[in-house]
Amino acid sequence: MAHLKTKIIKYLEANSKTWDGNNIGLQDDSDGDGPYIKIWNIEGLEKPTADQIASYETAGNTQETLNSVLSTRRTSYPELKEQLDLLYKDMAADKGDKTGEWFKAVKKVKDDNPK
C-alpha cells in the first residue's frame, strides 16, 4: 500500500502542482485511522477527497517501487573514484566498449536491480 505522501505527490503532479514542504501538513493521531491531511495550502487546487487520493494507489506503488530500486542502485554502484579508475584502465586497454570492466560493473548493478 502506497504511503499517503506518495499518493499526494502523484495527485499534485497530475494537477501541475508541487509540494514545497510547507504547503501541506500530514498528521497521524495514532488512533488506528492512519495519517491524514491536516494542512492544505495549494493555491488553485482543492484538497483532495479520500476517493481522489485512493485513485493514486497504483501510481503510488509504482513510484515507491522505483524509488526503492533507485536507492538500492545508488548504494550498489562502485564509488565514483573507483568508476573513474575503471574507466581509465578500460580506455588505456582500448576497452571503451561493452567488454570493459566499468561497463560490466554498472551492468551488473542494473541487471541485479531492474526498474
pLDDT, one tens digit per residue, over 28-84 is 999 999 999 999 999 999 999 999 999 999 999 999 999 999 999 999 999 999 999
Task: Render pLDDT for 70-108 as a digit per residue (tens, 0 to 9).
Answer: 999 999 999 999 999 999 999 999 999 999 999 999 999
Same domain, 41 and 63: yes
Beta strand spans in 2-115 (E): 24-27, 36-40
Same domain, 50 and 63: yes
Same domain, 29 and 47: yes
Same domain, 89 and 47: no
Domain extent, residue 82, equals 78-115
Same domain, 22 and 36: yes
Same domain, 85 and 39: no
Structural domain count of the chain? 2
Q: b vs e for 78-93, b when ≥16 Cβ sit within 10 Å of the residue's Cβ?
A: eeeeeeeebbeebeee
Same domain, 20 and 71: yes
The single-letter DSSP state of residue 37 is E
The single-letter DSSP state of residue 17 is -
